[in-house]
Each structure stands twice: as structure tokens, then as C-alpha cells.
Amino acid sequence: MKTLRGPAILLAQFASDSEPYNSLEGMARWASGFGYRGIQIPSWDRRLFDLKLAAESKDYCDQVRGMLRSHGLEITELSTHLQGQLVAVHPAYDLLFDGFAPPELKGNPEARRHWAVEQLLLAARASRNLNLTAHGTFSGALAWQFVYPWPARPAGLIETAFEELARRWKPILDAFEDAGVDVCYELHPGEDLHDGATFERFLDAVGGHPRANILFDPSHFVLQQLDYLAFLDIYHERIRAFHVKDAEFRPNGRSGVYGGYQSWVDRPGRFRSLGDGQVDFGAIFSKLAQYDYPGWAVLEWECALKHPEDGAREGAVYIRDHIIRVTERAFDDFAGARRDADFNRRVLGI
């Protein structure tokens, strides 16, 4: 069995134009001060990281890694969540997602998509240059607006959507295969890959591609009312990244899973800082240890109530205290059990 690595933190929700949050070294000092040992880097944030340079220059990557090591940190994964979203966008969302791409691509969905694909290809090479083995992203969505089948979906609509999604992602997955890096899709409402059933559909469409894997985030399953512990039993072989994010779901007489278009603070399902929600992280960390999860435990902080600084500070301690240092021997070794074929036959009376 393997001991999970951590604690680590995704920097995306904390980065800003103010010090220390406007540079990678500033955020490295900040994260290290809380006790983090790893950081997940949002590759779209040029204040922190130059994705194109990282794809082209091993020297740049070595400099970044060396600076982080000086603060006791490692890179856990790069994230292309915003770029991955743009690999597949239904026209209904064009205006909303234009903000995820460079301004000069505004109003040009096809150019935006090509830019997003190129960003993923750069991320594959950058991950290889950084000696990383996993990468976090979103799948994008062509069919999300049809998640509730009313009006009734035309026969074959979802199949066509996933065939197209697979067609767009297959070259990207092949590039990550060449780089030796797993693509870990965060299963998230709003994405075509948002639960186990949709991940299976996609995996079939890409021919069981070995680099098509999962970023496990139980908070999104709480909000969908999906059994996140059973999910680990079913899909543990494909889980290669882990966001430690809490959530709660408290339905009432006015709204439930769909949230009634309310703000996050008023929705029955909402994200919380670690320890403030309903996720059973004790059971999750136990199952990940049981199944030899090979990666990091990375805090993704999102909470409608708590200050982010408090969430980051408390999160490092919470993750550290939940990581199970796995045993190197069986608890009953003291009883003298031994392997001896002749002795075992005698015990069985044969």
C-alpha cells in the first residue's frame, strides 16, 4: 500500500493582483507557511506560470522546480480546467465562455477551440518537462443542457455528442500518452463528464484510452447525491488525482438538487471549507489507502461563508491529520503466522 502525498493546495482560488498572491514565489512562501508540501498550478494564470515557455524549455521548468524546492514544495499537477472547458462548448454558452480565452478570440468559437486544444498540447509537454505524472482538467460539454430529458431527447443525441467529444479529445489524450502523463477529468456538473455513467460513456468512446482518468472530488458528488464511497470502489483504478473539497446538501421545502437559481449561500447544496461540510473524509482517505492511490491530496478551497485565508490555514492541518501512514506489516504478525505448504496440509488434515 502507498501513503498519500500531501497536504497540497490548488492556487487558482487564491491568486490575485496583490502580494503575495500575484507571483508563484510569493504564493510558494504563503503555502509553505501553512505547512503545505505541494501546489497545483493553474496553467492559465500568467502571473504565476508561463505554460508555453514550460512546454518549450526544460531549463525554465527546472528553475521553477528549484525555486519551489527551496520552499519545501513540489508541483502536484498542472491544471487546465479553463482551457479544457473550451475544447467543447455548446453555442448556448459561447458568450459566457468567451472570457476563458484571449480577448482577440472573442466571438470566434472555432478559433477559441483550436486555442484550447493547443493549450492542452502545451500542457502535455510542460508536464513532461516538470516530471509530472498527472494533469487536472475539465472535459467541456456539448450535451449538458440536455441533462434533464424534457423535452424528450431525440434518439441518438447523446451518443452523437459523446462521439464528437471523443473525437476532439483523442488527439489530446494521445499527446499525453506520448508525454507519459494521465489526463484526470474532474467530474463536475456543467461538464459532459460529471458522474460515473458519463465517464464510462466517454471511456468507451475513446476506446478505453489508458490516459483517460479521473480527478476525484467528492464535493460534486454530494451536490448530485451520488455515493462517493461506492464510486471509489468502482473507479479506483482510474483515479489519478484528488481534490479535497467539502460540501453539504440540506434539502428543504423550497429547493433541492437544482438549487432554484439561488446564490451559493442560499442553495441546499453548497461547497464548504474542510471540516465544515458533510463529506466523510475519514472513509475516503481509508479507501484511497486501501486501493493504493498513487498521488497527492490537494485542497481546492471554495466556501460561501468562510474567509479563504482561514480555509487555507485549516485545510493544511485537516489534510495532514487525515493522511494515513500505511502499515508495512500485518497487525497480527506477532501471532507467528507462517507460510509452509506441508504444515498447511497437516492443519487441513490432508
Angle, helices 58-70 vs 109-129, to 10°: value is 70
CB atoms within 10 A of CB 309: 12
The pTM (predicted TM-score) of the whole model is 0.95
- Predicted local confidence at residue 339, as pLDDT: 73
Q: How far is CA 318 from the centre of its chain?
A: 19
| HSE-CB for 223 with a 13 A CA cutoff | 22
Task: Kindly indicate the confidence band of residue 334, based on its pLDDT and cuts at 50, 70 and 90.
Answer: low
User: Is the pLDDT reported for residue 265 higher than 70?
Assistant: yes
- Predicted local confidence at residue 338, as pLDDT: 67
User: Is the pLDDT reported for residue 332 higher than 70?
Assistant: no
- Predicted local confidence at residue 155, as pLDDT: 97
- Predicted local confidence at residue 327, as pLDDT: 83
User: Is the pLDDT reported for residue 163 higher than 70?
Assistant: yes
Over range 264-289, report the average pLDDT: 98
Over range 79-83, report the average pLDDT: 98
Residues in CB range of 4: below 8 A, 6 or more apart: 242, 285, 288, 289, 293, 295, 296, 297, 323, 324
User: Is the pLDDT reported for residue 237 higher than 80?
Assistant: yes
Note whether 184 and 135 are within 8 A (CB).
yes
Separation CA 164–CA 153 (nearest Å): 17
User: Is the pLDDT reported for residue 333 higher than 70?
Assistant: no
Over range 149-176, report the average pLDDT: 98
Task: Kindly indicate the confidence band of residue 94, based on its pLDDT and cuts at 50, 70 and 90.
Answer: very high
Average pLDDT score over the chain: 96
Over range 319-345, report the average pLDDT: 81
Over residues 45-64, the pLDDT tens digits come to 999 999 999 999 999 999 99
Over range 141-148, report the average pLDDT: 97
List of domains in the chain: 5-348 (3.20.20.150)
